[in-house]
Chains A and B, each alone.
Chain A
Amino acid sequence: DTGVSQNPRHKITKRGQNVTFRCDPISEHNRLYWYRQTLGQGPEFLTYFQNEAQLEKSRLLSDRFSAERPKGSFSTLEIQRTEQGDSAMYLCASSPITASSYNEQFFGPGTRLTVL
């Protein structure tokens, strides 16, 4: 297993278009997270899944954003009617669930979105 993968790595789109990103977590990792990182800032939590259930969404995740994780494997993040403010790096991370109170999150390389 080579870790968390994200596709595409870069996406340039025009304002108003829809975009979809994909994240493939490490096999058998139950949890999958999405974060957004704007230029010069640290990543901010967007949402997370435990298996196929979406358990929490940040208020950063407006109605134009939707995330899915069918069958508890890969996940997609869709942004509808993109705005210039959506330009950012979108990071995906996955972690196992164990008896430990914290399980390390492993990050993918991210998808950089540029909205023109």
Chain B
Amino acid sequence: AQSVTQPDIHITVSEGASLELRCNYSYGATPYLFWYVQSPGQGLQLLLKYFSGDTLVQGIKGFEAEFKRSQSSFNLRKPSVHWSDAAEYFCAVVSIKAAGNKLTFGGGTRVLVKP
């Protein structure tokens, strides 16, 4: 069964600094990978996804992520963080072999932004 690990539970970053969130997955084939953001009182919003092709994918809000098959990783990055980026971030994987496209999520990383 597939699994997703986000090693960092909390990250604190200063506004304007760069941000990198780690994600490692376990999956038998090429996975479909996602990053979601969840702000307080809000639902999950899709930031970006990787299916195939170029391993560097661009998303909304200035985020990007890089798929590295050799490291089973899909890390999320942002060059310059804004105070509004304070939220919880989830990495997820889909098993396209199984019916239903159900998502398997990591435990999440909470990002705090210092002024």
Q: How many A-B residue pairs have CB under 8 A?
A: 61
Known: A102-B32, A103-B101, A105-B103. A42 touches B90 (CB 8 A): yes
B25 within 8 A of A: no
CB contact between A43 and one of B49, B90, B99, B101 (< 8 Å): that residue: B90
Q: A69-112 CB contact bits vs B (8 Å, 1 = yes)?
A: 00000000000000000000001010100000111110111100
B96 within 8 A of A: yes
Q: How far, in Å, is B98 (CB) from chain A's closest CB?
A: 9
Distance A46 CA – B53 CA, assembled complex (angstroms): 31
Q: A4-B43, A102-B94 are known; give 8 further A-B pairs, CB within 8 A.
A: A40-B107, A40-B108, A42-B4, A42-B107, A93-B44, A101-B96, A102-B32, A107-B36
Q: B30-43 CB contact bits vs A (8 Å, 1 = yes)?
A: 00100010000111
A102 and B101: CB pair below 8 A? yes
* Interface size class of chain B, counting residues whose CB lies under 8 Å from the partner chain: 20 to 34
- Residues from 5 to 56 in B contacting A, C-beta threshold 8 Å: 6, 9, 32, 36, 41-46, 49, 51
A110 and B43: CB pair below 8 A? yes
B interface residues, Cβ below 8 angstroms from A: 4, 6, 9, 32, 36, 41-46, 49, 51, 90, 92, 94, 96, 99-108
A-B contact pairs, 18 of them (CB 8 A): A33-B102, A40-B108, A42-B92, A42-B106, A42-B107, A43-B103, A44-B105, A45-B103, A45-B104, A55-B99, A55-B100, A56-B100, A102-B32, A104-B46, A104-B49, A109-B41, A109-B42, A110-B43
Chain B residues near A62 (CB, 8 Å)?
A: none
A interface residues, Cβ below 8 angstroms from B: 3-4, 31, 33, 35, 40-45, 48, 50, 55-56, 91, 93, 95, 101-105, 107-110
